[in-house]
């Protein structure tokens, strides 16, 4: 006799999945709970609940659900969902091992491939990432999270078409995500119509060294270092910020440089007062040292201030170069990265966080393809995996999430946490959750923490914490502590603290964004610096 409960089980699960795809996570949770009430051992019910709670940024509830699911319905699907919780908690190694184990068990779990793709991207294994995304989509083309990862592998024209269809149909984007998608689509369309082409290096120079500019709190105290940048012939000093992305300037700077709006956007950073209105414009010329870049996007704050500075320039804009920030000697040096085996001449440009070229979006490179045709040599195109050159074997392997470089950092005897390399932050800081594993957190601090998103409302003080990252070790007394949840939610994994300027100013830092590698050299402070 057929099991009469099967059709109802499928119906409830289908209804739950529809709610999830539409972004109705409250409705999805109710339906997944109904499914579990009727079928207590349903792996789909527990996995669905975990996914919905993670979408709601409720990591604790997701963790409790995953553990209950393992007790009630241990299965590859629930194990995969539990690993997603671990990844969000910053337990990247544990998540990776679990996803690998699920795949090696022979169970075709699409989200295990999606999880591994996310990890591969964070360690600059872009070719392998794409292979995993393609496999995940082959197994389940209806999963909205897999679709969102897949769309990033499309060319610009294909991406425009997909986003137009998605905005007009079902999606599980929040109001903020939907607005951001609309702005991004507007940007892509405008860039597609721009006949000047992508942001590119216009000068023949492929390396440069330039002096950094001191930015002061007062006559005796440094706030950070600025980088002289000439926008359309107008000189500014933009704070060199390893915790920022792209180039952001205040409105007055943009007006002097004649940078006009092509699309709206929102930007945010440290602070508890939400996103700020901004727009994207195009600079005809950006000069930094001996390098000149043309036709490059710049974000402009609608307000007249960017954390008290003319603007910010994220070190990630130089991801096509080996970046050396020598804080003790107050210099920035850009040079060519080591050539990958089998790779032709490198194409250099500013990476501004926006996708400019059809070729770049597709993972190819028209300049390299042209070179291959002229020389008759085969040219590797498409995404590449990380290459660690012999001279970089001693570099620290880090995780890259967009512009953010997250460094595995030991705090006393606790398990390693992920700290953001942030020269725009004045001091080191730690989340209360991470600090409580090794020391006491008490009171409200009189320290004021401000960023693009305004002030941090609640700042605490943590007792002594010893930080160890790379091959360096530093003791911190009375370390500043504040909640990093909003940053962690945005990043997708737990960010437990910041390595700020007061530490970084003692270091000569080499950054290979392409391969997610860092090198630190401590240089003793000099008198008068």
The CATH number of residue 508's host domain is 2.40.70.10
Domain end position, chosen among 107, 134, 165: 107
For residues 236 and 267, membership in a common domain is answered with yes
* Domain-ending residue, one of 63, 83, 107: 107
Q: How wide is the angle at C-alpha 464 spanned by C-alphas 423 and 472, nearest 5°? A: 50
Tokens 């070719």 appear where?
127
Q: State pLDDT tens for residues 457-509.
A: 677 788 888 899 988 888 876 788 989 999 999 999 999 999 999 999 999 99
Q: Is the pLDDT of residue 252 over 80?
A: yes
Q: Note whether residue 66 is domain-resident.
A: yes
Q: How many domains does the chain have?
A: 3
- pLDDT tens by residue, 77-116: 999 999 999 999 999 999 999 999 999 999 999 999 999 9
- Do 236 and 288 contact (CB within 8 A), yes or no? no
Q: Give a yes or no: residue 126 inside a domain.
A: no
Pick left, alpha or beta for residue 147 (phi over 0 → left; psi -120 to 50 → alpha; otherwise beta): alpha
pLDDT in tens, 321-376: 999 999 999 999 999 999 988 777 777 778 876 555 544 433 333 333 333 333 33
In what helix (H) or strand (E) does residue 15 lie, and over which residues does it extend? helix 5-22
Residues 438 and 292 in one domain: no
**Cβ atoms within 10 Å of 472's Cβ, excluding its own:** 16
**Does 92 fall in a domain?**
yes
**Does residue 446 belong to any structural domain of this protein?**
yes
Neighbour count for residue 5 (Cβ, 10 Å):
10
In a domain, 188, yes or no: no
- Judged by DSSP in three states, 116 sits in helix
Residue-range definition of the domain harbouring residue 248? 201-375
Helix (H) or strand (E) holding 277, with range, is: strand 276-288
More confident residue, 307 or 160: 160
**Strand-by-strand arrangement of the 507-512 sheet:** 208-211, 331-336, 321-326, 507-512, 517-522, 396-397
Clarify whether residues 226 and 319 are in a common domain: yes
pTM of the model: 0.89
On whether residue 252 sits in a domain, the answer given is yes
**CATH number assigned to the domain comprising residue 90:** 1.25.40.10
256 and 358 belong to one structural domain = yes
Choosing from 74, 107, 140, the residue where a domain stops is 107
């Amino acid at each position: 006799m057929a099991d009469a409960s099967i059709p109802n089980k499928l119906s409830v699960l289908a209804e739950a999945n529809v709610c999830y795809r539409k972004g109705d996570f409250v409705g999805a949770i109710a339906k997944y709970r109904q499914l579990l009430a009727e079928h207590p051992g349903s792996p789909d019910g527990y996995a669905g609940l975990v996914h919905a709670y993670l979408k709601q940024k409720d990591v604790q509830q997701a963790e409790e659900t995953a553990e209950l699911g393992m007790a009630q319905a241990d299965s590859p699907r629930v194990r995969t969902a539990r690993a997603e919780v671990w990844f969000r908690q910053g337990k990247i190694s544990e998540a990776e091992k679990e996803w690998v184990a699920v795949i090696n068990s022979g169970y075709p779990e699409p989200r295990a491939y999606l999880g591994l793709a996310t990890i591969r991207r964070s360690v600059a294994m872009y070719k392998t990432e794409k292979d995993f995304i393609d496999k995940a989509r082959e197994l389940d083309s209806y999963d909205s999270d897999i679709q969102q990862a897949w769309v990033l592998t499309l060319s610009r024209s294909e991406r425009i078409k997909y986003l137009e269809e998605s905005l007009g149909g079902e999606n599980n984007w929040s109001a903020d995500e939907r607005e951001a998608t609309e702005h991004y689509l507007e940007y892509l369309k405008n860039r597609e119509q721009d006949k000047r082409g992508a942001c590119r290096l216009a000068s023949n120079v492929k390396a440069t060294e330039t002096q950094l500019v001191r930015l002061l709190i007062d006559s005796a105290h440094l706030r950070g270092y600025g980088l002289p940048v000439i926008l359309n012939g107008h000189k500014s000093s933009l704070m060199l910020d390893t915790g920022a992305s792209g180039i952001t300037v205040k409105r007055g700077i943009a007006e002097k440089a004649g940078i006009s709006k092509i699309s709206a956007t929102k930007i945010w950073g440290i602070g508890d007062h939400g996103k700020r209105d901004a727009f994207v414009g195009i600079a005809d010329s950006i000069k930094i040292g001996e390098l000149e870049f043309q036709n490059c996007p710049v974000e402009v704050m609608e307000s007249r201030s960017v954390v008290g500075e003319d603007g910010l320039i994220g070190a990630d804009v130089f991801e096509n170069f080996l970046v050396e920030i020598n804080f003790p000697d107050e210099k920035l040096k850009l040079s060519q990265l080591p050539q990958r085996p089998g790779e032709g001449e490198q194409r250099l440009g500013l990476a501004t966080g926006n996708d400019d070229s059809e070729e770049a979006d597709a993972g190819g490179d028209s300049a390299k393809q042209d070179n291959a045709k002229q020389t008759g040599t085969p040219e590797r195109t498409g995404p590449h995996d990380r290459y660690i050159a012999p001279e970089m074997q001693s570099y620290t392997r880090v995780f890259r999430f967009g512009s953010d470089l997250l460094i595995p950092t030991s705090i006393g005897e606790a398990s390693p946490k992920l700290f953001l390399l942030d020269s725009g932050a004045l001091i080191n800081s730690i989340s209360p959750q991470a600090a409580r594993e090794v020391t006491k957190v008490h009171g409200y601090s009189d320290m004021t923490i401000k960023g693009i998103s305004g002030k941090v409302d609640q700042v605490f003080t943590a007792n002594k914490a010893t930080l160890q990252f790379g091959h360096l070790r530093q003791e911190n007394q009375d370390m500043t502590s504040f909640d990093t949840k909003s940053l962690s939610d945005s990043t997708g994994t737990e960010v437990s603290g910041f390595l700020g300027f007061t530490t970084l100013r003692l270091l000569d830092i080499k950054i290979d964004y392409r391969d997610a590698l860092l090198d630190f050299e401590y240089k003793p402070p000099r008198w008068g610096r």
